Amino acid sequence: MIDTMLGGVPGRTAAHVVAGRTPAIIDPGAETSAAHVIGELHRMGIGSADLAWIVLTHIHLDHCGAAGALADAFPDARIVVFDRAARHIAEPERLVTASHAVYGEHASMYGGLAPTDESRIVPAADRHEIDLGNGFRLEMLTTPGHARHHMSVLEHATGTLFAGDALGTHFGAGGLYPNTPPSDADPHAGRESIAKLAERAPVFASTAHFGPVADAAAALDLADRQLEALAEAALAGWVADGSEGIAREVMRRLPLAETVGDAAALAEWEYLRWYDDNIGGLSAWAERTTASDDS
Ligand SMILES: [Zn+2]
């Protein structure tokens, strides 16, 4: 694992490196972290000609923003990304503009995304496999929920799940808390994705924010119950009082401070405005869901 040092701060976003004859990095981090991550890869003995795969769980800039810079620094590397999101890696302008609108005042902390030539992008469908050699094999699994275009990555030799944001966030000593940002988070889809991952019974699991969980099965179970609570809170809150109702119900059913349970982790949530983003994402979902129920 490499700490990408988002915003110069440790413990926010993690990149994962899987060894093998053709090594892979999963979620290289934000563009502003690229120089640091490239330096860490070199320090691990992965030279300019060695890195073969840049694997993206989804195209939020805190995960994928460094992909273009890494593709420049490692000219033989190919970028593996959900097929429906692949065009944004080749032509990132719209993605960057839309992302900066969500990040607001923090946009410069994340940076943008440099384009990569289409010939170096590998569009992945569900169950796409990447053979890293030396017995290591990655399988990409579509796991919508945090975002519609989210994939999780399973390494078969070790039984390791690289969950991206599918299980939520656990900064520092904090507990797990779902991360449901605008504009296409969907807690019901997230629960189906967790069931799909649980079927694979991973031995280890690691999250992008931040790193390994102690017990993969327990984390999957907890993440499912938390998404269930958020979905119920969002629907009840939306019907009663729109976004404000959601904020109230979420606080009642899954109180941030108590669930996170650690002052430093809570400060990270608040600094990054992820709690506010959660309410925004749940509001958009509740509005879509109740509208389609009416029709
Ligand atoms: Zn993320």
In a domain, 249, yes or no: no
Q: Identify the pLDDT of residue 294.
A: 60
CB 222 within 8 A of CB 177: no
Summarize pLDDT for 64-96 with one digit per residue, the tens.
999 999 999 999 999 999 999 999 999 999 999
The DSSP code for 27 is: -
Across all residues in the chain, what is the average pLDDT? Answer: 96
Q: How much distance in Å is there from the Cα of 209 to the middle of ligand 1?
A: 7
In a domain, 236, yes or no: no
In a domain, 248, yes or no: no
% of the chain residues with pLDDT over 90: 96
The model's pTM? 0.97
Q: How much distance in Å is there from the Cα of 265 to the middle of ligand 1?
A: 15
pLDDT along the chain (295 residues), means of 10: 98 96 98 98 97 98 98 98 97 96 93 98 98 96 97 97 98 96 95 98 98 97 98 97 98 97 96 94 96 68
Summarize pLDDT for 158-199 with one digit per residue, the tens.
999 999 999 999 999 999 999 999 989 999 999 999 999 999
In a domain, 281, yes or no: no
CATH number (domain holding residue 74)? 3.60.15.10
In a domain, 247, yes or no: no
Coil, strand or helix: which one is 132? Answer: strand
CB 211 within 8 A of CB 14: yes
Q: Identify the pLDDT of residue 102.
A: 87
The domain containing residue 165 runs over which residues? 2-225
In a domain, 262, yes or no: no
Q: How much distance in Å is there from the Cα of 285 to the middle of ligand 1?
A: 18
In a domain, 272, yes or no: no
In a domain, 178, yes or no: yes
Q: How much distance in Å is there from the Cα of 295 to the middle of ligand 1?
A: 33
